[in-house]
Amino acid sequence: MNVKRKTCKLLIGCVVALSLMTLAHTAEAPARIEVGKFSAEPEGNRIPADWKSWTFKKIERHTTYVTAREDGNVVVRAEASASASGLIREVRVAPQEYPVLAWRWKVSNTYVKGDVSRKDGDDYPARIYIAFDYDPQRLGLIDRAKHAAVKLLYGEAPPLRVINYIWESKAPKGTIASSTYTDWVKMIVVESGNELANKWIEEQRNILEDYRKAFGEEPSTITGIAIMTDADNTGEAATAWYGDIAFHQR
């Protein structure tokens, strides 16, 4: 009888412990991770909290960014005129746990010369970068040498796996293409053309599925997110507005 009681108590203890572990995990893992809570920013900030400016050595003209009220909410307004720069934030997010990226954006126009298949057309009125961790040892010899050269030249290693969600000028929605500069970066056309210009568009993307389609492998940890409005290659101009950005569980 004592053995039965002890066994029963042990089982009850295990159930309680597992329940507490489940509750603790639930409490620790929020349903979403807000990486761009721009609506909570004061107006007039050039760099939102936890973000930083992202510029390029060979590009002198920079896009201007500022938090501004648009249609009743504070958002990030980006204005590009033959310019390029972005805003970037370092993060650590597991795409297996938070596979969905949700955001809203609006653009004034696309570019006449914009073309995802050409270097001289590689400009977008709005884009969101997602950078992933990746072991350089998995690269081939040529790519490893290229990676080492870039690290030596710029003092830091470039991300080896990046997804770019873009608002393109001509390519159909759903197009997945390698960047004209490197196949380490994949361009995914989320919106295209001027039909929806000057309208707020709500977006949701399954990063896990997009990464698998783009690279044919499983993703590692997400290490960074960036927004960018650029017009340095086309020499044109556009304005974009970026609303809140968050990673969501399934």
pLDDT above 80 (res 243): yes
pLDDT above 90 (res 91): yes
Q: Give the pLDDT confidence score for residue 157 in this predicted structure.
A: 52
The one-letter code for the residue type at 36 is G
CA angle 16, 17, 18 (to 5 degrees): 90
CATH of domain 33-248: 2.60.120.260
Question: Binning pLDDT at 50, 70 and 90, where does residue 39 land?
Answer: very high
pLDDT above 70 (res 8): no
Q: Give the pLDDT confidence score for residue 29 in this predicted structure.
A: 79
Q: Give the pLDDT confidence score for residue 159 in this predicted structure.
A: 73
The ranges assigned to domains in the chain are: 1-30, 33-248
Q: Please compute the mean of the pLDDT values over residues 14-36 and round it to a whole number.
A: 64
Residue 37 DSSP SS3: coil
Kindly report the backbone phi and psi dihedral angles of residue 217, in degrees, each rounded to the nearest multiple of 5, phi listed first: -155, 175
Q: Which residues of 16-47 are buried (b: 16+ CB within 10 A; e: fewer)?
A: eeeeeeeeeeeeeeeeebebbebeebeeebee
Residue with more model confidence, 64 or 137: 64
d(CA 209, CA 151): 30
Q: Which residues contact 59 (CB under 8 A, 6 or more apart)?
A: 83, 84, 85, 232
Q: Please compute the mean of the pLDDT values over residues 90-109 and round it to a whole number.
A: 98
Q: Are strands 127-132 and 176-178 parallel, antiparallel or unpaired?
A: unpaired
Kindly report the backbone phi and psi dihedral angles of residue 177, in degrees, each rounded to the nearest multiple of 5, phi listed first: -140, 150
pLDDT above 60 (res 76): yes
Neighbouring CB atoms inside 10 A of 72's CB total 7
Residue with more model confidence, 19 or 224: 224
Is residue 215 within 8 Å of 178, Cβ to Cβ? no
**Beta bridge mates, 1:** none
Q: Please compute the mean of the pLDDT values over residues 64-89 and round it to a whole number.
A: 98
pLDDT above 60 (res 9): no
Which tens digits make up the pLDDT trace of 19-28? 444 444 445 7
- The mean pLDDT of the chain is 87
d(CA 100, CA 208): 8
Closest CA to 95 of 152, 51, 144, 134: 134
Least confident of 27-31, 200-204, 233-237: 27-31
